[in-house]
Structure 1
Amino acid sequence: MSDSGRRIAVTGGAGFIGSHLARALSDRGHRLLIVDDCSSGSHTPQHERISYTQRDICAPETAETITEFDPDTLYHLAARHYIPYCNENPRETFNVNVIGTRRVLEAVRRASVETVVYASSAAVYGPAKEPHVESERPRPTDIYGQTKLVGEDIVERFATRYDFESVMYRLFNVYGPGETNPHVIPAILDQIDDEEGSISLGNLRPKRDFVHVSDVVDALLLPLDSATRSFDRYNVGTGTAHSVAELVEVIRDLVSTDFGIDQDDERLRESDRPYLCADIRRIQEEFGWSPSYEVRAGLKQLIETEYERLTHA
């Protein structure tokens, strides 16, 4: 696929990952349409090549706007994805993540779309003690994972029926500057002050594969440069899992503050699986992609970028 002068629609392009992606695409010279309801933040990059519409992904006008833009590539990132919110709002989660996906796909099939890139999630996997591979049977344990798995099925069916290329990325625990939901890393950093007090956290034992947003964007850009088959799924992580307790130790060292930990029962999740990690051999072997940031370097970059007050410079 040629990587010059594309017309690219990005749903969720004002959010955490989407805004980083939009900047990268704009820097490459592509013309963009960003569609976002700004429900989880608004980080829309400003550039003459970028058009922006603030709309509900499920609204009929949204589909019309996408069709009129006539993209050759769609990045579909719009979703409800903060799991506690999804669990409390299952109907809204289904409407956005499933109905919204279908309506976006209906819009692009009426356009000149050649490639659809779908941001799925590691939440489609079931509990395991080993890194997940793409070929294993999905077994989501919550409403978010269930809706993302249905979204994969919708994209696969549309790609097969209407003959466009599609790529699925099962994203693991993404972190970095601009995060818009209170996941564990910002939850830790936001509570730290200059004095050695305590912060409140939930379960410190679960291990997750934390992947920096810059590495995720690099993975998302791969379909613009590489030949793909009609339908592919790829894990995007680091291949290494770290517990919350391990994150705390790294952050203590980076900010030179020996803060304490108070366990807050309200932060505990009912379905907090003990281990979630990616097997990334497939994306490495087929695309040559590997993450640039290991967790310490990624946390250092995040702290220096967004938490300068903690650097004691």
Structure 2
Amino acid sequence: MKVLLTGSDGFIGSHLAEKLVREGHEVTALCIYNSFNSYGWIDQIQSDIRSQINLVLGDIRDASQVRSLVKGKDCVLNLAALIAIPYSYVAPDSYVQTNIQGTLNLLNAAREWDIQKFVHTSTSEVYGTAKFVPIDESHPLQGQSPYSASKIAADQLVYSYFSSFDLPAMILRPFNTFGPRQSARAVIPTIISQLSAGKTEISLGSLTPTRDFTYVSDTVSGFIAAMNSKGTDGEVINLGTGYEISIEETLKTIARLMDVEVELVSDPVRMRPENSEVERLLSDNSKAARMLSWSPQMSGQEGLEQGLKKTIDWFSEASNLRMYNVDNYVV
């Protein structure tokens, strides 16, 4: 297929770009414009794969550019978004412009050019603190941060274009993806990068929330399954493992796997406002199994540890760790 992949310079997007090329697809990868000639994490992909990607610098907020990029494509995979929750407290307007207006630009272009498949990336954050578990796709949506509110709005726009204009669009809702290349604003790379740099005091925010961590290769396989799926237009589908673990237990697991003793330091800067913290996330992935024939290859405590070991190995490479500033926390 001829695929436009937005957000390809990011963590999940770069892994997905690799997988698409390996499966023989023609990939146009939209990366956020910058003056450093950088394509983000795409720059770290091995050269024989990277050379097969049509790399474009730009911004989904630009409707004209989006229109030209969507033309002639079979599929749009929309992973472009502002995702840092703490920064959404600082600059909520930016989240509206990128996550909502940017998605609208893509939808309009996809409608104009008769795209065969539009796969939009949501987030488990739209559910807020679980009202029941496991969380299925019928769970109420709760915008507990400007980030999650912007993603709820984007999701609803995607659904509206399906219901109003018969756009062949669907929504994937990953739960807490982790793995190599993830930003240190997320908890697992925050822990691993600090430990890999030799620190024994680890700065974290709240320890009690639970998360359903999904290794990046499983999330990527979910996107591939969605892109190739039939009968999924208008659907919302969770991608998660169905296993939850607290932030504190995640820290202890990583410390054990790395064979280090750690002392926890509570950092108020890393705390969310009280009513904004999402206390519990645990997915029901039965719909993905039923409609996408998808299930995580790394699940349960054993699967989590398998993914953590891969992530630890990646951060243990000096050239990778060098790209992280473990002394500063940036929202």
TM-score for the superposition, normalised by structure 1 = 0.91
Distance 1:172 1:41 in 2: 25
**How far is 1:160 from its partner?**
2.9
Per-residue deviation at 1:57?
Answer: 1.2
Aligned AA (2:161): F
In the alignment, the residues of structure 2 paired with residue 192 and residue 280 of structure 1 have an alpha-carbon distance, to the nearest angstrom, of 32
Please state whether the residue corresponding to 1:276 is helix, strand or coil: coil
The equivalent residue for 1:297 is 306
Structure 1 window deviating more from structure 2 (292-301 vs 31-40): it is: 31-40
Which has the larger displacement, 36-45 or 230-239?
36-45
Question: Does 2:51 align with 1:42?
Answer: no
Aligned to 1:3: none
Unaligned 5+ runs, structure 1: 1-5
Per-residue CA deviation, residues 160-193 of structure 1 (Å, 9 max, x unaligned), is: 3333322211111111011135111111111115
Deviations 1:3-48 (A, max 9, x none): xxx1100110111111111111111111111112167970225545
From 187, 195, 201, the equivalent of 1:198 is 201
Between 1:35-44 and 1:202-211, the stretch displaced more is 35-44
- Indicate the RMSD between aligned Cα atoms, in angstroms: 2.0
Maintained 8 Å contact 1:14/1:38: no
Partner of 1:239: 242
1:164 maps onto 2:162 in alignment = no
Q: How many aligned residue pairs are there?
A: 303
Q: CA deviation at 1:63?
A: 1.8
Is the alpha carbon distance of 1:192 and 1:306 closer, same or farther for their aligned partners in structure 2, counting shifts above 3 Å?
closer
Aligned equivalent of 1:177: 180
The answer to whether the aligner puts 1:122 opposite 2:117 as a matched pair is no
- Cα distance in 2 for partners of 1:74, 1:152 equals 15
Do the aligned partners of residues 196 and 77 (structure 1) sit closer, same or farther apart at CA in structure 2, a change above 3 Å counting? Answer: closer
Residues 229 and 41 from structure 1, CA distance in 2 versus in 1: closer, same or farther, beyond 3 angstroms?
same
**2:122 partner SS:** strand
1:306 CA drift (Å): 2.7
Task: Summarize the Cα distance change of 1:101–1:196 in structure 2 as closer, same or farther, 3 Å threshold.
Answer: closer
Counterpart position of 2:327: none
C-alpha distance in structure 2 between counterparts of 1:222 and 1:34, whole Å:
19
Matching residue within 250, 257, 260 for 2:260: 257
Using the alignment, how far apart are the partners of 2:64 and 2:230 within structure 1?
33
The separation in 1 between residues aligned to 2:199 and 2:190, in whole angstroms, is: 16
- Structure 1 pair 20/262, CA: closer, same or farther in 2 (3 Å)? same
Contact 2:212–2:241 (Cα < 8 Å) also in 1 = yes
Cα distance in 1 for residues equivalent to 2:83 and 2:200:
31
Structure 2 alignment gaps of length 5 or more: 319-331
Q: Which runs of 4+ in 1 moved over 4 A?
A: 38-41, 193-196
> Among the aligned pairs, what percent are the same residue?
30
CA offsets 1:138-168 (integer angstroms, 9 cap, x no match): 1221111111111111111222333332221
**What is the CA–CA distance in structure 2 between the aligned matches of 1:85 and 1:306, rounded to whole Å?**
24
Deviation string, structure 1 residues 233-258 (Cα, Å, up to 9, x no partner): 11111111111111111111111111
Tell me the TM-score normalized by structure 2. Answer: 0.86
